[in-house]
Amino acid sequence: MSQPEQPQIYLITPPEFDPAAFIADLERVLDVHPVACLRLALATQDERTILRAGDSLREFCHARDIPLVIADHLLMAERLGLDGVHLGDGARSVRKARKALGKDAIIGAFCGHSRHEGMTAGEAGADYVSFGPVGATALGDGGRAPRDLFAWWSEMIEIPVVAEGAFDAGLAEGLAPVADFLAFGEEIWRTGDPAAALGDLLALPAARG
């Protein structure tokens, strides 16, 4: 795990994408920024679409030694041969996921802005806990994960913590000393130049991870 002041980059796919076009964008990002993990997070529930995207990204990521996890679809993680699963329901499915995928799988748990949920997920066996959104958004209940939560977690808990959701450059700078990973998704993919957008968010021409 990297030092707190140098968080690693964790990327989240767009909710919808053409695999070939997205991989081209991703490759341009990787030319500039080292990436520690990629999460496949499609909005669709269409099995064929998820399988197609997962197959393409698995080959791409594994060729570059980048772990690939999938959001929520536990059976898909196993079927596609992915590195693990990112669970959006906090601690509730962690034990089930560990039993299904085995001890070597990456199990992540999104815990909103609840310290208690994060601790419960860690106790259940999560490899990392993510909190968010860190920025203002009209999505969800409007709650935000404050910097104090990450600061407390980094000081008290050994399990890596991921900050995600509605980033801007100021938030990235403020959270860098207290998060193990900064997770970026639509903040960069909705721009015309994801690599440059990521650099802008990090306030650096190259990644800090």
Per-domain boundaries in the chain: 17-202
Supply the pLDDT for residue 1: 35
pTM metric for this prediction = 0.94
Distance between CA 113 and CA 129 in Å, rounded? 11
Across the range 62-88, mean pLDDT stands at 97
Supply the pLDDT for residue 137: 87
| 92: its two tokens | 């509730």
Supply the pLDDT for residue 51: 97
| SS3 state at 107 | strand
Supply the pLDDT for residue 139: 77
Beta bridge partner(s), residue 184: 11
Distance between CA 49 and CA 128 in Å, rounded? 27
pLDDT-based confidence at 138, cuts 50/70/90? confident
Pick the CATH number of 17-202 from 3.40.190.10, 3.40.50.180, 3.20.20.70, 1.10.730.10: 3.20.20.70
Q: Name residue, tokens 């998704």.
A: 185
Supply the pLDDT for residue 3: 42
Supply the pLDDT for residue 142: 81
Specify the range with the lowest mean pLDDT, choosing from 4-13, 99-108, 122-131, 162-171: 4-13
For the cut 60, the answer to whether the pLDDT of residue 207 exceeds it is no
